[in-house]
Amino acid sequence: GEDVEQSLFLSVREGDSSVINCTYTDSSSTYLYWYKQEPGAGLQLLTYIFSNMDMKQDQRLTVLLNKKDKHLSLRIADTQTGDSAIYFCAESPPDDSWGKLQFGAGTQVVVTP
């Protein structure tokens, strides 16, 4: 199974905030990423955070990083129906060969009107 863990499903009402949680394994990972996958499509990079940061905000997206607990979260403000997708968190363990990513299983977010 995956070493990066995510909850599998989240239902949220349009206009509310969504929070997607992830726990990762390697405290020395340099970067942590959030990707979005819509049905039948590839992965779209949403945002990333450098491991020496606690928070990063990018428009409606806020990433929080708790290195002590190896916990990463993605908050989507004012969630829209277009935000319905699967969201993957990923880490880049430095011990692995360059560029390899460890993905979580993905969180399916369903936005209801």
Partner 1 sequence: GAVVSQHPSWVICKSGTSVKIECRSLDFQATTMFWYRQFPKQSLMLMATSNEGSKATYEQGVEKDKFLINHASLTLSTLTVTSAHPEDSSFYICSASSPGLAADTQYFGPGTRLTVL
Interface residues with partner 1 (CB under 8 A) are 2, 30-31, 33, 35, 40-45, 48, 50, 88, 92, 97-101, 103-106
Enclosing H/E stretch for 66: strand 61-66
Measured torsion, CA atoms of residues 33, 61, 106, 68, in degrees rounded to the nearest 10 = 60
Nearer to partner 1, 59 or 98 (CB): 98
Q: How would DSSP label each residue in 8-28? A: SEEEEETTS-EEEEEE-S-TT
Nearer to partner 1, 82 or 113 (CB): 82
Nearer to partner 1, 16 or 38 (CB): 38
Q: For residue 61, which of 35, 93, 43, 99 has the smallest C-alpha distance?
A: 35
Nearer to partner 1, 24 or 88 (CB): 88
CB of 18 to partner 1, least distance (A): 19
CB of 111 to partner 1, least distance (A): 18
